[in-house]
Every structure is written in structure tokens, then in C-alpha cells.
Structure 1
Amino acid sequence: MTAHEWRTGTTPAAEQQREPAESAGAAGAAGANGATGSADRAAFVVDCHRGLRGPYTGLGSLLREVVPLAIKAQPGITDRHVTEILSVAPELRPAIGVGPETLTSLAAPEERTRIYPANRTRRLAHGAVELLAEYAAVAGGGPLRLVFERVEHADYTDQEFLAILLRRARPDRIRVTVATGGGGGLVDELAAALGRYARRTPPAAGTDAGGTDAAGTDAGGRTQEELLHAFVAADGTSQDPAETAAYEQADPALRATLHDRRAAELLARDELTLGLGAIPYHLERGSDPAGAGADALYEAARHCGAMGFYHSVIDFGTRGRDLTDPETQMERFWHLSTRASSAMVVLGQTVEAEPTYIDLRARYDLPELQLSTGYALAMLYTRFHPAELRDHHLARAYINNSIAIASLLTDPEQRAFHSVFQKNGLALIEMRTGRIERALRLVSDGIAYLDRELPGEKHRLHRSVLVHNRGKVYLAMGRLEEALADLSKVIELDPNYADYYFDRADVRRRLGDLAGAVADCDTAISLSPPFYELHYNRGDIKAEAGDVEGALADFGYVVELEPDQLDARVNLVGLLMEGGDPAAAEPHVEEGLVLHPGDPRLLHLRGELALERGDMGAARQDFDAALRADPGLVPALASRAALAHEAGDHGAALADLTAALEADPDNGDLLYNRGYVHEAAGRWAEAVEDYTRALELAGDDDRDELLNRRAVARSALMGTAGAQ
């Protein structure tokens, strides 16, 4: 199969297509759109430079072209991917309508108390890959050809998407070309995907990544004014040395005027994603950077935070903070700072985020700031910091301070909301310190307080979050019926939020309602972009229910989405081998050992595959290696014991089975096996003892065989009467 392609050192098509006398407006239309479609409907070229539209500049540009064609090719093809499409390219809303709304998406900014997880962008990327695959299947005309340019300047979201696309897209159906110029700029995942799935091609002789000749001069004979206008029209993405020089040499006042003019042109287009790239770039450099520029960056950070694009939130928040005067613009400075630091926390950069909160608390005595940063610091120390840095006592100190401030707020609505919000944070601390009854009381009291003090339409999102949290507390306490009731209630309040069905499925499974648990997983899957945890849990439930085919499909899909998910891979291989299909299992084991070298469970499974082939030596080597990595791995101990028994080494077999039973003392199969080895070694009393203990644990299906084996052992030990 022909591989994907990685073109290095290439000149972007947008640069190649420029006319020497191109006007600022004409260049800007092409530049800010970021996409150039070819005459062939199956070939698309998109510019990924994040300066154009920020997150998903490349993917969004592609979807703005592909989605209308997909709808025309097969009406309804986009219905399963509305969330992905509107998250990436919101300008397509008129074409595809509104997706399933949740209380999170509907909440006013000041009432939004839930944020998306950091891996939401992976879910969106997987959904986009599947949409493109579905379109490729109906479009015809050979593989869908996609060219992504200036990828070294792409936002994290685009690079993550491209890494997943390269891995998941079959080149005979979707042919991907990734074009990069000089220098670095690639995230690790994309660099690895390019190295594994793409054929690298060098640049053509005499060209570089800037659209100029090898000498770096302007080949078109443009004037300094034309070069200056071209630089501004490129929205900060020009790689042309002549344009850059003209811009740097221009009068600063003229540059600011041109930036203002260009920002106005782009604002007039009323396209949301331009506000995540080109528009804030120009306003930062226009006549009012600390005002209009900082405001544009704040709005970009706010939108990206709401969508889960956290790398961009850090970028926008930091840039806006740098423009803002902390003395005269304290509120804007504070909000930009906390936007950036909160995004760092979600991405796991907690140590880097903490100084921002401390700095703000030292700068300002504003009650609301002290309240919110106290909450943030409490969550760092009870939840987000690495385990070695967590300090629940310090977390309680911060949250108690915030609770005290909330109680003094003069506005009744604000006092009620903030008091309950902070006490909900305290409930989490109590949960983590084992004071579960106290946590339940705090959450329950908060629900009652909001119901008593606020009109029913106010803070609907946070009310639902509290009910969900109480359900989770009930679950932790083992009060499953009450947990089920609260999770069912929160689903009534917010029926399109997939995570609630995910949690209720867990409760239903624990209650023994496997069919209900699968149904909840099905609903969650229908409401969400691809979400591997959902499929893993559904696969686990189906396996428990005896639906092996369904479990295989779910575990296989998990491994397709995220190959490094080890538990899913182990479960998948185990089911394949139990089903008598070692040939299908083998590549999954080998791939797993590439991703997880030396993993004991995979080494054991590879040993089992060797046994299937009759290669006892290789099997023994893998079992030994697995047990060196994990001496208590029960399946490997059992497998090695079986090998030793087959070889007549009863002592080694008994040693491994005894070690396995020390780790898993109530395992009836292990007791049976050890009894059988005792029997083979003539250790009749020990065999009777193991068979007797196994009978205490056995189900009806196993009793006959166990009684039969014990009869043999008793016959040898005490004669016919015992066996009878």
C-alpha cells in the first residue's frame, strides 16, 4: 500500500500563487481563509498556519470545503459528526444546523462551572477522521487526496489531528501529504507519526519555505509599499524575507493603521474563527493594543477555554496579559492571567500555574479574586498537583478562606452561588481525606440552599453538577440505589451530556443490570465524538454478559483509537485466544510490545501464542521474562506451572502454583490445578485438601469433575470407602 507523504522544505501553495501586484484585500481573502481547493473534487490543499484561524486552522479550512460536498454526495452523512464539525468550523452552522445542546454549552459564561477534559480535542480529531473516511467512501474517483501545508506553524490541535489521521487513514482511501518548511515546530506525536506512516521527500533544488529564490530576494520586482501591504495581508504568516524587511522598515504609525484596516476587513466577514487568529494578531499591533487588542485576546481565550482548546488559551491569555497594565486594567489583567493558568492546570502544568494565583493574591485585595484564586489553589493541592505535592490540609485552609469571603458577599444571589460552589470544593477535599459522610452532607445542603434561595432557572448547570456529585458520593459509599436515582435525575436535567450515561452505566453494572448498562453506553456513544473509555467499558460489560463478539468489536475499536491502551489490548488478545483465533491475536501482541516493551502481561500472552505453535522453549522464555517483570503475575505463574508439569517437574509446578495462590487464594482453578499436580506427584493428602477447598468455591458446572478427582485421591489415600 502506498504510504502517506511528508514533504519537507516546501513552498506553500499560497505563496506560489501570489501575484506581484496583489492587493492587500485580495491576498487577505486567500490568506485568512487558509484553504485552496483544486479543480478535482477529491483533492484539497489547506494552509495550517495557526496565525490565520488559531486552533484547527487546517482542519477547519478542510471541513469548510468538504462538508458541503459531503452533504451533497449523501444527505445525512454529517449527522453523526455535528459536534466535531461545529467545534472545529462553527461557520458551517447554517449548513448543518445545531447539534445536541447540553447545560454546559447553553450556560452563560458567568454560570459555567464545568469544563471539558484535556482529551476532548482527541475525540474531535477521531470524529473528523471518521467523517473524512465516510466522505471518501461515497465521493468516488480514487483516494481522497489531502495536502496540509505549513504544518510546522500549526496549532497543537491540528498537529494532534494530523498524527491521528496519518495513523488511522488507509492510504488507498485517503492519501495524506504533510508539508513542512525548515526548522522544528512539530509536536512529538506528529513527528513520530510522520516517521512511521509517511514517506519523506526532500525540497526541490533552489527553493526554500518562504516563497523566494535561494538568494532570498523578491523575484517579482514589487515596490516597498507593495511588499508592506503583502506582509500585512498575510496576517502575520508571511515567510517572505523581502516582505518582512519592508514591514520592519515601515513607519510604526503606518503599520498600526494598516493593521487596524485589515482587522476591520476581517471583522466585517463575521467569521468566528478569524477571531482566534488573524483578528487578534492585527489588533495587538494596531492603534489600541492594550484596549482592542487585549479585548480580542480575552475573547479568543474565553472561546477556546469553553471549547477545550487549552494550548491556545495559554497562548492568548499570556499575550493579552503582556499587553495589559496591571494597575489601570486590573480586572482584565486578572481574568487573562487566570484563563492562562487554569488551562495550564488542565494540561497538567500545575507547578507552572501556581505562581500566577499567588501573584494575583499578592497584587489585589478584591474579594472575588481572593475567593476564586483560593478555590483554584485548593483544587491544586487536593486534586491536580502531582501526588508528592498534594496537601489536603493546605487545600482545606484555602477553601475555608474562600467560603468565609463568599458568606460576606452582599448580593444574595452571588452569596448563595459562591457559598455553595466553594462548599462543593470542600466536599471534594473531604472525600479525598476519607470523610465521606461530611462530603455528602455538604453537597446535599448545597442543593437545598440553592433550591431555597435562587429561582429555578438560575444556575441550572451548577445545580445539575451538584446532583451528579452527590450521586458520585453515594457510589463511593456503596449506596447504589441512591446513586442510580441521582444519576437518573441529572440525566433528566441534562439529557445530552454523554458523561452522565457513562457514570450511570457503572452503577447499573454494579447492580447487575448489564443490559441497562450497555444501553447507557450506547446512548453516550451516540451523543459524543469517539470516546475510547466508553467503548472500553461497554466491551467489559459485554464480555461479562457473554457477548464475546460485541466485546471484541469494542476492544478492537479502543485499540484503533488509542493503540497505547494496554488493558483493552490485553482483553482483546485474551478473547481472541479464548475464541481459538491465535492468528488474529498475534499482531496485537507484537504491536503492544512495540508500544509497551517488556510489559509482563503481553510477554505472557506471547508465550501462550508460542505454546499454540508448539514452541515450548520460546514459551518458557516469555513466561520467565514476564515473571521477572512481575513475580506475582498469576496467569504467567499458572502457565509456567503447566509447562513444568508437562515436563514432569512437579516441584517447579507446585512452587509456581503455590506462589499464584498466595496472590489469589480464592481461585478455584488454581486450587484444582495444584491438586492435580499433587495427585500426579503421589501427594494424595495434599491433593484431597486442594480439591476440597476448590469444591467450596466451585459452581455447579465444576463440581462433578472436582468430586471425581477427589475420589481418585481418596481411593489412593484411604481405599474404596473414601472414594465412594
Structure 2
Amino acid sequence: MTAHQWRVGPSPADGERADFAVDSHRGLRGPYTGLGSVLRLVVPEAYERWPDLVRGYLTEILSAAPELRGAIDAAPETLTSLAVPEERTRIYPANRTRRLAHGATEFLAGYATRAGRLPLRLAFDRVDEADPTDQEFLAIFLRRARPERIGVLIGTGGGSLEPELTAALDRYAIRLPDAHRPGPAAGRGPDELLRAYVDADGTSTDPAELAAYEQAAPEVRVALHDARAALLRERGEWSLELGAIPWHLERGSDPAGAGAEALYEAARHCGAMGYYHAVIDYGTRGRAIVDPDTQMERFWLLSTRASSAMVVLGRTVEAEPTYLDLRSRYSDPELQMSTGYALAMLYTRFHPDGLKDHHLARGYINNSIALASLLPDPQKRAFHSVFQNNGLALIEMRLGRLPAALRLVDEGLQRLDRELPGDKHRLHRSVLVHNRGKAYLALGRLDEALADLTKVIELDPNYADYYFDRADVRRRLGDLTGAIADCDTAISLSPPFYELYYNRADIKAELGDLAGAVADFGYVVELEPDQIDARVNLVSLLLDEGLVDDARPHLDEGLLRHPDDARLLHLRGVLALADDEGDEARRHFDAALRADPGLVAALASRAALAFDGGDHATAVADLTTALASTPDNPDLLYNRGFVHEAAGRWADAVADYSRALDLPGADRGELLSRRARCHAELGDADASRADEAASAAEQLDLAGAR
């Protein structure tokens, strides 16, 4: 198989050889219907033969195929995953699903290699009806899976796809001739057609089956839905609770009761997992079948599940009216308190910058703090008061009042310790310790920040983000080895996310481990090719090391994705210089400076090219423009001094060398030596001898340090 394939029409397994073919319609099992179905097929064999492979991807596997829990090892637990619903105060970021998709991609690649099935052929049907989690996974899978190792066949029915998947299909898959689905089988009576429609769990596209369903008596349909939901539940497969089962119960004998309960549980589970598009779907469907007057709590919770998911996905303007509607409908103190908190977070954290209003946020949160203080239950009063004040601490930080934010968090920790049993709200206690550490960091109190991050790791040792944050503090304290160790631990605990590898690459480069930095930056752009900073760093390191052929494809890919980026255009010029194409290099440097006239690297490179061509005036002009942006750059001053020296402008050269000598990071020995030559040309023998002596001393000191 030389490329992945895409067919619009019948099941991709029809007439094709596939090792595993699955239906990806989200109506069957909700998020990850397709990926989860593949994992349910391959993981039992993989776990029996290569348990180490499975153990490396437990979080990804169990997230997409929860039925496998108990059949394989458990994923590392965190306080977030262990928290009971009423104590769950942390949600996953929206990009968690990308991390899961990358890990699942790597697991399947490992499985294909160990199983010796090369190429392993996987077929996914009805992908246009798949949940965004599956479409995101398939976009990443198509890009990262090599067709000679894993061939992917995508089947769609002509519906719209997520933009990322459309782009991946266009670039990485061959479009096969469209095929028409076969017509309905003849000879089926109304009862058979009706049952077929119900048994398809809401995914049938057969017009005859739909017509039979619509023409059936309502009580017959209701009975069939109840029976089908009961049959599916007997299978004990949790993912069915995210797709087919709620669909049937919505249409069964108790939609506002059993149906709404099933939708709420699906929304709760998917909210905890970070599957936010599904949460919006469940919450919206649930709101439509409950009575807001007689089922206030269920209506409230379904509404806020959906609106909170919208917020995480950046749809804040769409979410806000839901909170306002609830506040206008009900006078319940806890509802007013929770929606006030949500609105405060919208205005201080989530809304676009043009809509943020920290003072309005403060008003909302103060109202919630007041309501929390009136709750009759002492433990609930303590927790909610601390929780709301933690929100106020965030607002204070946004307003630049860091000491006030630190005080609020610290007082909250003390109150929880004083008024709640130690086994209550362990997650939120850890969140407060983490937040206090971040407040210390913002205040520049690095040792105290380090202590709190170390404490929160002791409280929650399997939560990767804490190691990520502590690595940053250790790096600022100069403990680069410790920072690397924290990055390594975070990587071992989490599905792949590029920020970890980016930071580790930076630290490795600082330690002089250029090969390690190149490997990590390379992995970043494999995970997320649009991460342009990582790509610029990767190409720069490769060119610095003389690995021109290794740099070339990374640069070409970067320019394909970002054709107008000044840094990449500059690097294209550097590569042209390595290819001895001076005119081509100058053209790319000019293009880079048209895109960003102040790009120092491009100005310096163009100046060097001009100098090599004997054009001292242009070289000085470009270096002078660069120095306007970075006046304390000793290398630029040295370069301009060198050009002045070459042009015989000895006094100007002395001035630049002298300025550079006063700056940190300057090569003092070389600067003194060059200034000595200039003094000699100016006839100042004493100054020349003094600089020569000082240069020699610098060289001796440097040799001794080595």
C-alpha cells in the first residue's frame, strides 16, 4: 500500500482486504467509537503477547475503550481521576484528546511491528458520522502512520468532516472512485423493517426502515426502544452508555427520567474525560426532554455541563446566555453561587480579550462568596467558601494584585485543614497548593514555589503537569539536571504532548546536548507540525551542526505550512548559503526582511553576505538596523566593528569593540585583540600594547577555566 485510501460509498471493507474494519458512527458508542472498536479487537492479543507494549499506553487505551478496564492493568491514578463527582474541581484541557490520539497512533504502530503485519490494514467506515474525537484521531493517524506499515482506509457517506481531517485526507490519502451503496434488500415486511431500524441504534440510513419506524404505533416503538436498551445494558459495555443506550432511552417509556439520567451520566463521564463536543450534545438533548419547572436540578446540571464544555472549547459567547437563563429562572442559592462563579471565570479567564472585564468578574465572585458563607452545612460552607475565594485569587492575579492572591490561597488551605477531615476534598487541597506555588513563582519567590510544587507532587505523584511546572522552576533556579529529570517523569506519566518535549529540548540545548535537543524538537514537529517555534529551533540546530540534508525536509515542510514566516525564509537563505547559492540566499534574506524588517538574524546574515561581497556600507547599514532592536548584543557590535575595521574606519571599530567589552557574554579576548590592532593603526601604541596584554591574560584565564 503506497498511500492511505479514502472512499465515499459503501463500507471500506467491501471488496477490500482489511485486517480490522470498524463502524465509526458516534451513535453507536459516542466518542472514540471507531478507535475504541479497533482497540477492543487488538488489545487482548497484544496484552497476552506483549504486555509491556500495552502498559506503555494504558491511559490512551482505557480512555477510548473503557470496557477493557479490568482485562488489562489499570492506568496510573491521579487525584483528578480518583475524585468523586462532587469533589471534582479540575477539568482536562481541550487538547487532551490530541494527546490520546498521538499515544493511540504510537500504540497501533508498535502493535503492527510486533505482530509482523506490515502493512497492517485498518478500515474505518462512516467517518463523516464520527465524533470529533475520532475525526481528530484519524487526521493525526493518517499523517503519522506510514502506509507501508499501517494502511488506513477511510469510508465516508458524503457528509461534512472536521477541517483537519479533510486536509489530512487531501494530503495523505488517495481518493478511490466513489461507490454507491446497495439498495435496500427486497422482501422485508413492515415489522422486519421496523426492528431493523431500532436495532441499528439510530444509525440507519435506509429510507424503508425509517418509513416503517415512523408509521409504527407509538407504543410499539416505545416498547422496542425499552427492550433494545435493556438488551444492550446486559452486555456491560460502558461505551454503549455513550451512544446507543441513551438514544433508546430518550425514545422509550421514560424519556424525562431514565432518558435524562442516561444523558446526564454520559455528559458527566465525557466531561471528566475531556470529550467536550459530546458533552454539549448530551446536555442539549437532555435539556430538551426535561421539564425545567419540575426537574430544576436535572435541567440545571444538564445545562451547565453543556455550557461548561462550550467554555473549554472557546465558545464562551455561546455559553454565557445559559448561565444568565438559569439565574433568571431559579433563586436556589447554590445555583446562583455556581453560575456566579462560572460568569466570573468567563470574564476574567475565558472570554476573548476584548470581552474580559476583571472588575465585573470580581462582582460576580463576591456575590458567590457571600452566598457560600450562608450555606447551612458547615463542611459545605467551608469548602465552597474556599473554592470561591480561590476564584477571587485568580482575579486578583489578573489585576496584578499578587500578594492578595497569595493570601487568599494560603488562607483557603489553612481553613480546609482546620474545618474539614483530611480525607475530604483531597483534590482541591492539591489544587490550592499548586496555585500557591504559581503565585510564589509569579512573585519571583522561586524557592517557595519549588517547595509547594514538590509538596503537590507528594500529594498527587502521578499528575504529569506538576512535574512540568516544577521543571520550569528548577530551570530558573539553575538546576538543569533536575529540570530534565522532571520532564522525563512527566513524559513517563502522560500521553504525548508537545510542550513537554519542547521544554526538554530547550534545556538539553542549554546543557550542550544538541543531539538530544534535535531529537526532542523533531518529535515536537512530528506531533504538531504547525509548531513553528520548534521547527525554527530544529532547523537552526541542524544547520549549526552542518546537517544540511537533515534540515532540508523540515524546512521545506515548514515553508509549506507557513510560506510567509520571516524566520523560515531566513533559514532558507542560510541553507542556500550552505549550498553555495549566494544570490539565492540574498533573495531569501530580502524576503525575510520584507516579512519582518526587524528580524535580527536576517539582518546579520544579509550583512555577512554583503561583507563577503565587499559591500561594507550595506553590511554596516544592516548591522546598525539590527542594533537598534538589540543595542546590547555584543556579537552584533563585534561584527559591525569588524566591518568598520575592514573598511579602515579604525575609530568607529574601536567604539564598537569598546561597547561590546562592557556587555555580558562578550568574547573579551578576541575583542581586545582586535581593538589592539585598531589602536595600532590609529598610532596609539600604548593603548595597543595594553589591549594585547589584556587579551593574552583573558586567554590564559580561559585556558585555566577549562
TM-score of the aligned structures, taking structure 2 as reference length: 0.96
Shift of 1:267: 1.2
Question: Of residues 147, 156, 180 in structure 1, which corresponds to 2:156?
Answer: 180
- Higher mean alpha-carbon deviation, 650-659 vs 594-603, is at 650-659
Could you say which residue in structure 2 is the equivalent of 1:299?
265
Residue 25 of structure 1 is matched in structure 2 by none
Residue matched to 1:404:
370
| CA shift for structure 1 position 305 | 0.1
Aligned residues of 2:88 and 2:427 also touching (Cα < 8 A): yes
Give the Cα–Cα distance (whole angstroms) in 2 for the partners of residues 499 and 577 of structure 1. Answer: 33
Tell me, in whole angstroms, the C-alpha distance in 1 between the residues paired with 2:36 and 2:187.
34
Alignment partners' CA distance in 2, 1:75 and 1:398: 51
Match of 2:9 in 1: 9
Q: Distance in 2 between matches of 1:619 and 1:363?
A: 67
Consecutive aligned runs of 4 or more in structure 1 exceeding 6 Å deviation: none
Q: Is the 8 A contact 1:11 1:181 kept in 2?
A: no
User: Is 1:8–1:180's contact at 8 Å kept on the other side of the alignment?
Assistant: yes
2:61 is the alignment partner of 1:50? no
Q: 1:395-474 residue pairs with structure 2 within 5 A?
A: 395-474=361-440
The residue aligned with 2:178 is 203
Residue among 221, 224, 227 paired with 2:190:
224
> Residue deviations 1:650-700, cap 9 Å, x none?
222111111111211221110100100111122211111111121222558
Match for 2:612 among 623, 631, 646?
646
Separation in structure 2 between the aligned mates of residue 12 and residue 641 of structure 1, nearest angstrom: 58
Instruction: After superposition, give the CA deviation of every residue in 1:178-206 in whole Å (9 maximum; x if it has no partner).
Output: 01112x231000011000000011233xx
Distance in structure 2 (CA, Å) of the matches to 1:53 and 1:380: 32
- For residue 135 of structure 2, what is the aligned residue in structure 1? 159
CA displacement at 1:141 relative to structure 2 = 3.7
Identity of aligned residues (%): 72
**How many angstroms does 1:718 deviate by?**
2.7
The answer to whether the 8 A contact 1:156-1:187 is kept is yes
| Equivalent position of 1:545 in the other structure | 511
Show the counterpart of 1:350: 316
Aligned: 1:123 with 2:88: no
What is the identity, as a one-letter code, of the residue corresponding to 1:180? T
Which of the numbers 144, 148, 152 marks the counterpart of 2:120? 144
> How far, CA to CA, are the matches of 1:141 and 1:188 in structure 2?
31
Say which SS state the counterpart of residue 429 (structure 1) adopts.
Answer: helix
The match for 1:483 among 425, 428, 449 is 449
CA distance in 2, matches of 1:710, 1:11: 77
Residue 681 of structure 2 aligns with an amino acid whose one-letter code is: A
1:6-40 Cα shifts (integer Å, max 9, x gaps): 01122476xx89xxxxxxxxxxxxxxxxxxxx9x9
1:62-77 to 2 correspondence within 5 Å?
Answer: 62-77=38-53
Amino acid at match of 1:201: L
CA distance, structure 1, for counterparts of residue 325 and residue 486 of structure 2:
45
Offset, 1:619: 1.1
Q: Secondary structure at the match of 1:94?
A: coil
Cα contact 1:487–1:503 (8 A) shared by 2: yes
- Residues 184-235 of structure 1 show CA distances to partners (whole Å, capped at 9, x for unaligned) of 231000011000000011233xx33xxx42xxxx333111100100110010
Tell me, in whole angstroms, the C-alpha distance in 2 between the residues paired with 1:476 and 1:257. Answer: 61
Give 1:285's aligned residue.
251
- Secondary structure at the residue paired with 1:697? coil
Alignment deviations for residues 387-413 of structure 1 (CA, whole Å, 9 cap, x no partner): 111001101010011011111111111
Q: Alignment partner for residue 598 of structure 1, among 556, 564, 575?
A: 564
Which residue is 2:76 aligned to?
Answer: 100
One of 711, 714, 724 as aligned partner of 2:676: 711
Task: Give aligned pairs, total.
Answer: 689
- What is the aligned partner in structure 2 of residue 193 from structure 1? 168
Could you tell me which residue of structure 1 aligns to residue 687 of structure 2?
Answer: 722
Q: Normalized against structure 1, the TM-score is what?
A: 0.94
Q: Where does structure 1 lack aligned partners over 5 or more consecutive residues?
A: 18-37
- Counterpart in the other structure of 1:579: 545
Amino acid at match of 2:673: N
Corresponding residue of 1:666: 632
C-alpha distance in structure 2 between counterparts of 1:347 and 1:141, whole Å: 38
Matched, 1:326 2:292: yes
SS in 1 for 2:277: helix
Q: 1:670 to 1:497 in 2, by over 3 A?
A: same
> Could you give the per-residue CA deviations for residues 435-472 of structure 1, whole angstroms, max 9, x where no partner exists?
00110101111111111111111000000000000000
Alpha-carbon distance in 1 for matches of 2:443, 2:620: 41
Superposed CA deviations along residues 237-288 of structure 1, whole A, max 9, x for unmatched, are 1121211111111111110110010001011111110000000000011111
Q: Given residue 187 of structure 1, which amino acid in structure 2 is its aligned partner?
A: E
Per-residue CA deviation, residues 110-151 of structure 1 (Å, 9 max, x unaligned), is 000000000000000000000000000111143111000011
Question: C-alpha separation between the residues in 2 aligned to 1:141 and 1:594?
Answer: 33
345, 358, 365: which is aligned to 1:392?
Answer: 358
Asked whether the 8 Å contact 1:142–1:173 carries over to 2, the reply is yes
1:203 is matched by which residue type in structure 2?
A: D
- Is residue 85 of structure 1 aligned with residue 64 of structure 2? no
Letter in 1 for 2:383: F
Distance 2:560 2:178 in 1: 32
Equivalent position amino acid for 1:292 in 2: A
SS in 2 for 1:145: strand
Matched-pair contact (CA < 8 Å) for 1:73–1:138: no
CA contact (8 A) 1:12 1:150 kept: no
Q: Which amino acid aligns with 1:470?
A: R
Compared CA separation, residues 366 and 242, structure 1 to 2 (3 A): same
Q: Deviations over 1:147-186 (max 9, x none)?
A: 000111000000000000000000010010001112x231
SS of residue paired to 2:326? helix
Query: What do residues 50-92 of structure 1 show as CA deviations (whole Å, max 9, x unaligned)?
Result: 0000000000010001001112332321011000011110111
Find the residue that maps to 1:45 and give its secondary structure.
Answer: strand
The corresponding residue for 1:365 is 331
1:587-631 C-alpha deviation (Å, 9 max, x unpaired): 111111111120011011001111111212211111111111111
- Using the alignment, how far apart are the partners of 1:189 and 1:73 within structure 2? 35
The 8 Å contact of residues 7 and 202 in structure 1, kept in 2 or not, is answered as yes
- Which residue is equivalent to 1:495? 461
> Is 1:504–2:485 an aligned residue pair?
no
Tell me if structure 2 keeps the 8 A contact 1:317–1:340.
yes
SS at 2:124 equivalent: strand
Which segments of 5 or more consecutive residues in structure 2 lack a partner in the other structure?
Answer: 690-706
Q: Secondary structure at the match of 2:453?
A: helix
Matches of 2:665 and 2:261, distance apart in 1: 69
1:134 and 1:586 mapped to 2: Cα distance? 28
Check whether the contact 2:112–2:150 (CA below 8 A) recurs between aligned residues.
Answer: yes
Q: Distance in 2 between matches of 1:676 and 1:149?
A: 66
Measured after TM superposition, the shift of residue 583 of structure 1 is: 1.2
- 2:170 maps to a residue whose letter is G
**SS of 1:286's equivalent?**
coil
CA deviation profile, 1:402-442 (whole Å, cap 9, x unmatched): 01111111111111001110110011111011100110101
| Contact 1:163–1:190 (CA under 8 A) maintained in structure 2 | yes
Amino acid at match of 2:423: E
For residues 502 and 27 of structure 2, the distance between their equivalents in structure 1, rounded to whole angstroms, comes to 37
